[in-house]
Amino acid sequence: MKSKLPESPGLTECLEASGGTRALRAGNGVYREIPALLRAEYGSERVFLVADENTLKAAGGEFERGLSGAGISVAGRYIFPGEPRLHADYDHVKTLRQKIGTAGAPLVPVAVGAGTVNDLVKLAASELNLPYLCVPTAASVDGFTSYGSAILKDGYKQTMACEAPRCVVADTTVLSRAPAYLASSGFADLAGKVCAGADWIIADTVADFGAKGSERIEPKAWAMVQHGLNDFLTRSAAAAEGDEEALRVLFEALSMTGFSMQYLRSSRPVSGAEHLFAHIWEMENLSIDGNPVTHGHKVGIGSLAAVAFMEIVFADPSGPPPPPSGFRRPSPEERAAGVLAAFAGSPALEGVLKTSAEKFHDEKSAARISEGIRDCWKELRGKVLEQIIPYAEFKALFEKARCPVRPAEINLSRAAVIACARRAQMIRNRYIVLDLAWDLGCFETALARMEESESYLR
């Protein structure tokens, strides 16, 4: 049975409710606790280290010396190159599975790195039925403590089911030495939960009308992410400056959101429209000078786009924007043709065709949803606008945390970000604001208004 959480759970309560991770240590000098954790929580004194050249250096020689000095044997290692930046590609998972699997049992895989290293080790260890240890070197993502791994497989970015780390040990001094862009990436990932919460409110509402991809709000999981979120954002805004206290707050807040995914066995509490924008760009290998844009920075621009879209859709107290002149809801065949055009040449095409068909609402279903939403418009509008941070304030918060706020900063045009909403709406059967606008018939109207705005994404 999942443990009961107070209305405003703290880190300890979230850890206890997670159901997977047993221990989290965050602070200065916590690496010294690793040998005891290996013996107590894993029953092993043998490890297999996975890192890249940069993250192994970041952890410092004292990390490995501390293991050997305590009688912990390094049974093997796999070190990815430091450049170019590592991709979370399933081919790397297969390589790790082979290397770890032939190193002899028993042993504990140890992921020493940022989000990509962790995702790769998490999935490889899970496929080998081995509990692993996570040693983050940057406060860069929420995925360190999550159930599931974000991996690019068959051209499709997807969250693949796998167990969370049994233990997590993050030294704040090491976190402070990471490049500033990694901390700002973590901040942007955390800020994206503002949008994810608004999308869950929408999904909870349309569940009354039988919408596909809808989902009721689970109170405990909601509390683990949303209660205290704005305060965490305020207190962690200096993380990119190397402030250890801000980094501790950021890392623990990200960990709590990861625990919510463990608790619910789903990314719904932390992922909405903002992540679907990011997933499109990840499938396209969005890069700057050959280096992939970080997950968090893609989520950050996606979050700004999502908030802009929400403000436009919910601007009028009397109802949603009108459909474009001559609007006609597409047939399933026309919808499939639209997907074919949008993903022509993409290895993800077959998966997107299947998903878009699964989430498609016919004329009757869309009319039922539209009628129900119009009947509760005032209440839904109030909840969504209360949940989100107004765009101008949101942008200022991102700027303070040294996050990208303009599409050009992640090598995109403003027009490309706005147009990306069409493809983002196609790729996942999880009801979000983009689906709401689609069912209301105002999707293209909202995009046109975003394009005309002198404020959004500028």
Percent of the chain with pLDDT over 90: 86
In this predicted structure, the answer to whether residue 2 has a pLDDT above a threshold of 70 is no
**pLDDT tens across 216-226, in order?**
999 999 999 99
User: Are 152 and 201 in the same domain?
Assistant: no
Question: Total domain count for the chain?
Answer: 2
**pLDDT tens across 437-447, in order?**
999 999 999 99
User: Are 167 and 271 in the same domain?
Assistant: no
* Distance in angstroms (rounded) separating the CA atoms of residues 271 and 273: 7
In this predicted structure, the answer to whether residue 183 has a pLDDT above a threshold of 60 is yes
User: Are 203 and 133 in the same domain?
Assistant: no
User: Are 41 and 170 in the same domain?
Assistant: yes
* Distance in angstroms (rounded) separating the CA atoms of residues 198 and 218: 14
pLDDT score at 6 = 56
In this predicted structure, the answer to whether residue 374 has a pLDDT above a threshold of 50 is yes
Is 139 contained in some domain? yes
User: Are 114 and 244 in the same domain?
Assistant: no
Give the confidence band of 1 by pLDDT, cuts at 50, 70, 90. Answer: very low
Give the confidence band of 5 by pLDDT, cuts at 50, 70, 90. Answer: low
- Tell me what the pLDDT averaged over the chain comes to: 94
DSSP string of 385-418?
HHHSPPHHHHHHHHHHTT---SGGGGT--HHHHH
184 in Cβ contact with 296 (< 8 Å):
yes
The reply to whether the predicted model has a pTM over 0.75 is yes
CATH code of residue 422: 1.20.1090.10
pLDDT score at 335 = 96
User: Are 342 and 400 in the same domain?
Assistant: yes
CATH code of residue 15: 3.40.50.1970
**pLDDT tens across 286-324, in order?**
999 988 999 999 999 999 999 999 999 999 999 999 999
pLDDT score at 7 = 63
User: Are 423 and 303 in the same domain?
Assistant: yes
Percent of the chain with pLDDT over 70: 98
In this predicted structure, the answer to whether residue 8 has a pLDDT above a threshold of 80 is no
Is 340 contained in some domain? yes
**pLDDT tens across 224-250, in order?**
999 999 999 999 999 999 999 999 999
In this predicted structure, the answer to whether residue 197 has a pLDDT above a threshold of 60 is yes
User: Are 100 and 211 in the same domain?
Assistant: no
* Distance in angstroms (rounded) separating the CA atoms of residues 111 and 258: 16
pLDDT score at 84 = 84
The arithmetic mean of pLDDT across residues 369-385, rounded, is 98
* Distance in angstroms (rounded) separating the CA atoms of residues 180 and 240: 5
In this predicted structure, the answer to whether residue 340 has a pLDDT above a threshold of 80 is yes
The arithmetic mean of pLDDT across residues 120-144, rounded, is 95
In this predicted structure, the answer to whether residue 104 has a pLDDT above a threshold of 50 is yes
Is 422 contained in some domain? yes
pLDDT score at 154 = 80
Query: Residue 376: is it exposed, middle or buried by C-beta count within 10 angstroms (0-12/13-18/19+)?
Result: middle
pLDDT score at 359 = 96
* Distance in angstroms (rounded) separating the CA atoms of residues 85 and 405: 22
* Distance in angstroms (rounded) separating the CA atoms of residues 106 and 124: 15
377 in Cβ contact with 319 (< 8 Å):
yes
Domain boundaries, position 291:
181-452
Q: Which of 82-91, 190-199, 352-361 has the lowest mean pLDDT?
A: 82-91
In this predicted structure, the answer to whether residue 341 has a pLDDT above a threshold of 90 is yes
User: Are 339 and 194 in the same domain?
Assistant: yes
Maximum average pLDDT range among 146-155, 158-167, 238-247: 238-247
pLDDT score at 165 = 96
